Structure 1
Amino acid sequence: MSQIGTGASWRGGDIPTRVDVVVVGAGITGAAVAHHLAHWGVSVLVLEQASQPSAGATGRSGGMVRAYDPDPAIAELAQLSLAAYRDAGRWTSGRAPLHSVGAVTVADPAEEAALREAAERINGALRTSAHVVAGHAEMAGARLAGGVALVEPAAGWVAPTEVTADWLEQAVADGAVIGCGMRVQGVEERGGRPEVLTDRGVVQAGAVVSAVGPWAAHPVPGLRPASPVRSRSIQVSIVERRPPASPHSTFVDLRTGLYAKPVGLDRTLIGMPHLVWDAPFDSQPDPAHAQATVSALTAHFPWLATAPYVSTVRAADAYGTPKEVEPVSGLLEATDVPHVWSVRSWNGGGVKTAPAAGHRIAAAVVADVCSDIR
């Protein structure tokens, strides 16, 4: 077996050649998984092809978090995750990463009863004041354009890169090693367990978790998930918010997919679906889409019509329809190598579910290969 070379950058000590679990991808989900595994005493190696964590979809995410989602399975994870983002005791920084600006989720009036039920569930679990408004022209700085809205005053947004860094710092403190600038070339079975082939050498593992986001659409051998995954373009713009524009909460319109969030005191991030499939992650921004986003969101934020433009960022994320598979239904998918799993495609919503999803994924891996550690 070749030894890992010294050309990669890492934290937490030398790159090991044998660990309990290899996590591929140092984005927000991979960091959450690594944090929980290391906290439970599992030896963990995180491999990231970029020179630093959060270099992919995580670093370009808007970071909006709220407890509500139309999918009950996602809603459960989002509710637990919002609680984690509000809890200062879970973070190395000593402060909760959540910016509590509130969240407004707009839907068709026909969904009012379902939204009211969701508000009751959220309040019962989190002791918050989520509520539904109907017949209002505006709520929390956003016009509803004929919709009904679920308002979550306790929700808001996080900075995904900061959350990722905090989890990785905790993982390193618990013994994990983070190897950046290391490319995984394949995963093979060796004696019933996976062997990870990298451009720096070979690592033997009890299990492998692939959390690579849009790169799951073009996996290396051994990391192909059971269900098809495609990459889809994501593009957001930043604009200045000048008086008389009022402050606003995070905003999502389920009817159109339009969204917005405040960025600091005087800027707003805006976005809408960019249905360009299989585009490279580093594609150039689409000016027509950026202009269309401003036009579409002006119905909700009229001041956008004259707002100074700042910048546009384009990236991609993984989209798919994961099958019900073991060991965690809907969270992990098997690959063609035993004890190697791919994290489900979050369809753009990984940040709001990462705390709870990371915990459950780590628990499933521990139950399979390290049940005597917890």
Structure 2
Amino acid sequence: MSSSVFRTVPSAADVVIIGGGVMGASIAFHLAEAGVRNIVVVERGDLGRGSSGKPIGGVRAQFSDPLNIELGSRSLHAYGEFPHRPGADIKLDTVGYLFLLDDEEQASAFEAGVVLQNSLDVPSRMISPDEARRLCPYAGTDGLVAAAYSPTDGHARPGLVVHGYARAAARAGVTLATHTAVTGIDTAGDRVTGVHTSHGPIACGTVICAAGAWSARIGAMVGIDLPVRPVKRQLAFTEPLTPPVPRIPFTIDFSSTAYFHNSDDGLLFGLADPGQEDGFDTTWTPEWLELFRAAARRRAPALAELRTVGGWAGLYEVTPDHNALIGRSGELPNFLYATGFSGHGFLQAPAVGEVVRDLCLEREPFTDISPLSADRFQHSTEIRPEAHVV
């Protein structure tokens, strides 16, 4: 969709949401659906061009702790219902997620994860290397100890999700102020009172930070520590493949973080570069592909020399323990935040939209998200770090 570019923004709002990615769009939709009418989403560029801009996003409930499993499971259900609510085709493909494991310690950890996931109605299971290869013919079994698979996971198109939520929010009266930068935030006592933007000030009753990789800057405007750092992640696309690519799970080599899955008439490749420095640069560098090819030679040899026809670079919003920051500021009760998802924001966006809606309306969310408070880093109560994979 084409969102409005504002010369001026509304002078007042009940809620200002900073960030027009999948998280901001989900929050706006859920608030508007609940009857909140005077909402402004402020986005520095186009909708969904930050961390949400990736061409294909994984959706899964395979996590190692109950809270992330709940957020993933609830979001999977919402994505399945997306054609009806809010009403958009997001190209959801339930191909499953397949984690390839090459040592006993990994296998033991994933076995414990499967037990927990099953107790929360996630149909994941441990499988043999041979079954993993049947599911994904590209996977090599040399050195493979086991694999973990959940058939209800898959992938969808983040851009379609952002615009699906945004269209529904706009129909309900939400103002989408794109190409509008936040330049400051006013406070009085223990309250946020207004947001300054490049197109004018907005007096407001509540501010919600959903600014992704830029969230630390927003928090600093009001003296709140949101420990989020921007880290570039890259991916590439193969040329169209003949014969056609088989339909495979979203497949991840857990040791290297190399992953691959279907993308139109070819494959998409990705890998987290462990040497990547923090920063906002999103220049795609084809040299990065050698890291993927090195991992592929060990785990999926048939992919190592496939020709690629371009790629993409975007930003992860990473926290110290790779878990999200969701909550309400203790110092400024009308400042809320949902950020730092460390690669999991897209797959958790529907559930987090519900949670933030309820926090904003002072209702009890469907689950206790207090472990994800930003305050945990001040009190050494971090939840178990999540593996840094897609």
Q: Under TM normalisation by the shorter chain, which class is it? A: 0.7 to 0.9
Question: Counterpart of 2:345 in structure 1: which amino acid?
Answer: G
Task: Provide the C-alpha distance between the structure 2 equivalents of 1:179 and 1:112, rounded to a whole number of angstroms.
Answer: 47
Change (3 A) 1:27 1:44: same
Task: Provide the C-alpha distance between the structure 2 equivalents of 1:336 and 1:129, rounded to a whole number of angstroms.
Answer: 41
What is the DSSP-based 3-state SS (H/G/I as helix, E as strand, rest coil) of the residue aligned with 2:218?
coil
Task: Provide the C-alpha distance between the structure 2 equivalents of 1:61 and 1:313, rounded to a whole number of angstroms.
Answer: 8
**How many residues in Structure 1 have an aligned counterpart in Structure 2?**
351
Match of residue 4 from structure 1: none
Q: Deviations over 1:231-272 (max 9, x none)?
A: 111111111363466442111233222222211132323323
Change (3 A) 1:86 1:124: farther
Match of residue 320 from structure 1: 319
Query: Do the aligned partners of 1:321 and 1:345 also contact (CA within 8 Å) in 2?
Result: no
Match of residue 271 from structure 1: 271
Query: Do the aligned partners of 1:130 and 1:150 also contact (CA within 8 Å) in 2?
Result: yes
Query: Is 2:232 the counterpart of 1:233?
Result: yes
Deviation at 1:15, TM superposition (A): 4.2
Match of residue 3 from structure 1: none
Query: Is 2:170 the counterpart of 1:172?
Result: yes
Query: Is 2:96 the counterpart of 1:87?
Result: no
Question: Where do 1:243-282 residues align within 5 Å?
Answer: 243=242, 246-282=246-282
Task: Provide the C-alpha distance between the structure 1 equivalents of 2:151 and 2:110, rounded to a whole number of angstroms.
Answer: 15
Change (3 A) 1:216 1:277: farther
Task: Provide the C-alpha distance between the structure 2 equivalents of 1:219 and 1:17, rounded to a whole number of angstroms.
Answer: 20
Task: Provide the C-alpha distance between the structure 2 equivalents of 1:48 and 1:193, rounded to a whole number of angstroms.
Answer: 19
Q: Deviations over 1:205-236 (max 9, x none)?
A: 11101111111243375256424221111111
Query: Do the aligned partners of 2:185 and 2:221 also contact (CA within 8 Å) in 1?
Result: yes
Task: Provide the C-alpha distance between the structure 2 equivalents of 1:330 and 1:73, rounded to a whole number of angstroms.
Answer: 13
TM-score, normalised on structure 2? 0.80
Change (3 A) 1:335 1:229: farther
Task: Provide the C-alpha distance between the structure 2 equivalents of 1:225 and 1:62, rounded to a whole number of angstroms.
Answer: 32
Question: Counterpart of 2:24 in structure 1: which amino acid?
Answer: G
Query: Do the aligned partners of 2:124 and 2:148 also contact (CA within 8 Å) in 1?
Result: yes
Range with bigger deviation, 164-173 or 269-278: 269-278
Deviation at 1:135, TM superposition (A): 4.2
**Percent of pairs with identical residues:** 22
Question: Counterpart of 2:5 in structure 1: which amino acid?
Answer: S
Change (3 A) 1:161 1:106: same
Match of residue 221 from structure 2: 222
Task: Provide the C-alpha distance between the structure 1 equivalents of 2:247 and 2:162, rounded to a whole number of angstroms.
Answer: 27
Change (3 A) 1:169 1:335: farther
Query: Do the aligned partners of 1:233 and 1:276 also contact (CA within 8 Å) in 2?
Result: yes
Query: Is 2:339 the counterpart of 1:344?
Result: yes
Query: Is 2:178 the counterpart of 1:184?
Result: no
Range with bigger deviation, 219-228 or 193-202: 219-228
Query: Is 2:133 the counterpart of 1:134?
Result: no
Match of residue 372 from structure 1: none
Q: What are structure 2's unaligned runs of at least 5 residues?
A: 364-390
Range with bigger deviation, 235-244 or 98-107: 235-244
Q: Deviations over 1:72-109 (max 9, x none)?
A: 32222111111111224543445564212221123443
Match of residue 149 from structure 2: 151
Match of residue 371 from structure 1: none
Question: Counterpart of 1:187 in structure 2: which amino acid?
Answer: I
Query: Do the aligned partners of 2:57 and 2:156 also contact (CA within 8 Å) in 1?
Result: yes
Change (3 A) 1:355 1:209: same
What is the DSSP-based 3-state SS (H/G/I as helix, E as strand, rest coil) of the residue aligned with 2:30?
helix
Q: 2:71 aligns with which of 69, 72, 77?
A: 77
What is the DSSP-based 3-state SS (H/G/I as helix, E as strand, rest coil) of the residue aligned with 1:277?
coil
Change (3 A) 1:125 1:294: same
Question: Counterpart of 1:195 in structure 2: which amino acid?
Answer: G
Q: What are structure 1's unaligned runs of at least 5 residues?
A: 1-7, 369-374
Query: Do the aligned partners of 1:263 and 1:269 also contact (CA within 8 Å) in 2?
Result: no
Query: Do the aligned partners of 1:253 and 1:259 also contact (CA within 8 Å) in 2?
Result: yes
Query: Do the aligned partners of 1:210 and 1:223 also contact (CA within 8 Å) in 2?
Result: no
Change (3 A) 1:273 1:84: farther
Task: Provide the C-alpha distance between the structure 1 equivalents of 2:159 and 2:325, rounded to a whole number of angstroms.
Answer: 25
Task: Provide the C-alpha distance between the structure 2 equivalents of 1:345 and 1:61, rounded to a whole number of angstroms.
Answer: 20
What is the DSSP-based 3-state SS (H/G/I as helix, E as strand, rest coil) of the residue aligned with 1:207?
strand
Deviation at 1:338, TM superposition (A): 4.6
Query: Do the aligned partners of 1:232 and 1:275 also contact (CA within 8 Å) in 2?
Result: no
What is the DSSP-based 3-state SS (H/G/I as helix, E as strand, rest coil) of the residue aligned with 2:361?
helix
What is the DSSP-based 3-state SS (H/G/I as helix, E as strand, rest coil) of the residue aligned with 1:298?
helix
Query: Do the aligned partners of 1:130 and 1:153 also contact (CA within 8 Å) in 2?
Result: yes
Match of residue 5 from structure 1: none
Question: Where do 1:89-104 residues align within 5 Å?
Answer: 90-93=84-87, 95=89, 97-104=91-98
Q: 2:16 aligns with which of 10, 18, 22?
A: 22
TM-score, normalised on structure 1? 0.83
Question: Counterpart of 2:230 in structure 1: which amino acid?
Answer: S
Deviation at 1:184, TM superposition (A): 0.8
Deviation at 1:68, TM superposition (A): 0.4
Query: Is 2:44 the counterpart of 1:45?
Result: no
Range with bigger deviation, 69-78 or 162-171: 69-78
Match of residue 201 from structure 2: 202
